[in-house]
Amino acid sequence: MDQRCRRGAAPLIGSLASPRTSLALLGAALTALTLGALTLHVPGADTVGSPLRANLFVGVLAVSVGVYLLAVRVALRHDLPASATRLVLALAVLLRLALLLQPPFLSSDIYRYVWDGQVQAAGINPYLYVPADPALAPLRDPDVFPLINRADYARTIYPPAAQAFFAIVGRISAGVTGMKAAMLLCEGVAVLCLLALLARAGQPRVRILIYAWNPLVLWSFALDGHVDALAVGLLALALLARARHRDGLAGAILAGAVLVKFLPVVVAPAFIRGGRLWRPALAGLTVIVALYAPYLSAGAGVLGFLPAYGAEEGFDTGQGFWLLAGLSHLVTLPAAAARIYALAVAAGFAALSLWVATRKASKDEPGEVVLCRDAGLLAALATAAANPHYAWYYAWLALPACVAPNPAVIWLSAAPVLFYVDPFNERFVWPGLVFGPALILALRALLRRRRAL
């Protein structure tokens, strides 16, 4: 291994510490910061508590991201023993258990998951009614119903695969902790798949740290139980199936991930590279039809709150997009700014997708690395272009980054913890602390790649 890399790794830990000791110290620091952040929450508060506590909380999370990035640096730049992987996994489990036992306080989305499961257990299509509809009054309970967001005007936004999951979990447990535990099981599937992909690619298994220690992943899934964990588990299964040349199975599982959270559709070009199109496409289409079929009694309402969600987030005016929000400080944007931006992004992404799907990979590079690198690139660019202001939308980017580490993607998978507060109440300056460094890291990697050619 290059000695310059060895000398540069984790300089803040101290040159006298062994890499494994450095990793253990960083893990201890991450644990202390996570537990310390938990103490800032006021019991019973639906968020952290006061604005001061919220700011302190995000500050602690930002420091934990710095610790995490140092740990990633150690994992990538040193040959570590097998015991280091066991340390990483053990600490990942302990941190998740600590957060699992706490009530969700950064998001209330999980209460909708539990509610949708209860609605389906009663034999009712969840796309038919808003939670506050009198038709569902007999299902209301004091632990879940009062905490549902948008209860009086929004039908569920979650696609059929997510709904099927809510229904299954709801038959086992009608509580929030049970739903969170189910999401952590999905994460467990993802971790097992990543370990298998790392082994197939001939890469150190300790790189599972990129996902397992990611602070945004921890808080999004272990504390708040976001359904993105199910999408992550399915996407990991799809990547492993594709790496094993099970194209039809990969397409079917990827379709399941898409019908949990629509965003994973953007990685589809990585699955059809080399002309391997018809099997995954046919299998995926079959799964989509099968999953939507039980809910079609809602008609067009099967899309739920999705059509109105974009307007609520400011995407119709352009103020929801980071770039346009910045331009609006300089000039008056035309009425068609959002449409122009969307068309430009769509055209650019279509060109990138075509390049990913048709280019030939180097024979010297493991197929698993190529697959995850392409998936990570597509996922990061699509997520950054949409730039949702909810932090947990970015957590899935840590998944492909384990097998194909990319500084910009790793940064985007963790830094959005800053989005848990918005001190300026606007969409450009504060988000710029996330997107600005990501852009710099991406340009730096591109320049290095061009110099290497």
Q: What is the pLDDT of residues 400-451, one digit of tens each?
A: 999 999 999 999 999 999 999 988 888 899 999 999 999 999 999 988 888 8
C-alpha span between 199 and 194 (Å, rounded)? 9
- Percent of the chain at pLDDT above 90? 83
Contact present, 147 and 107 (Cβ < 8 Å): no
Q: Give pLDDT, residue 15.
A: 52
For residue 396, give every residue at least 6 positions away whose Cβ sits within 8 Å of its Cβ, in sequence order, or none: 228, 231, 232, 235, 261, 263, 264, 379, 383, 413
Q: How far apart are CA 36 and CA 43, in angstroms?
A: 14
Q: Which residues contact 44 (CB under 8 A, 6 or more apart)?
A: none
Q: What pLDDT shows up at residue 275?
A: 72
| Residue ranges, the chain, pLDDT below 50 | 1-14
Task: State the SS3 of 324-340.
Answer: HHHHCCCCCCCCCHHHH
The helix/strand count (H/E) of the chain reads as 20, 0
Q: Which pLDDT score is estimated for 336?
A: 93
**Helices 19-39 and 82-100, axial angle in degrees (round to 10):** 0
DSSP type of residue 128: S
Average pLDDT, the chain: 93
287-319: pLDDT as tens digits: 999 999 999 999 999 999 998 888 888 888 888
Query: What CA–CA distance (Å, rounded) separates 257 from 262?
Result: 8
Tokens of 212: 């397992």
DSSP 220-241: IIIIT--THHHHHHHHHHHHHH
Question: What is the amino acid identity at position 206?
Answer: V
Q: Confirm if 225 and 110 have CB atoms less than 8 A apart.
A: yes
Residue 227 CA to residue 219 CA, distance in Å, equals: 13
Per-residue pLDDT tens over the stretch 365-409: 899 999 999 999 999 999 999 999 999 999 999 999 999 999 999
pTM of the model: 0.93
What is the phi/psi pair of residue 287, to 5°?
-65, -40
Contacts of 49 (CB under 8 A, 6+ apart): 40, 41, 42
The C-alpha atoms of residue 337 and residue 324 are separated, in whole angstroms, by 8
Q: State the first-to-last Cα distance of the chain, in angstroms, to the nearest integer.
A: 21
DSSP summary character for residue 185:
H
Residue 57 CA to residue 40 CA, distance in Å, equals 6
pLDDT for the residue numbered 163: 98
- Measured distance CA(222)–CA(232) in Å, rounded: 13
Question: What is the C-alpha separation between 284 and 248, in angstroms, rounded?
Answer: 8
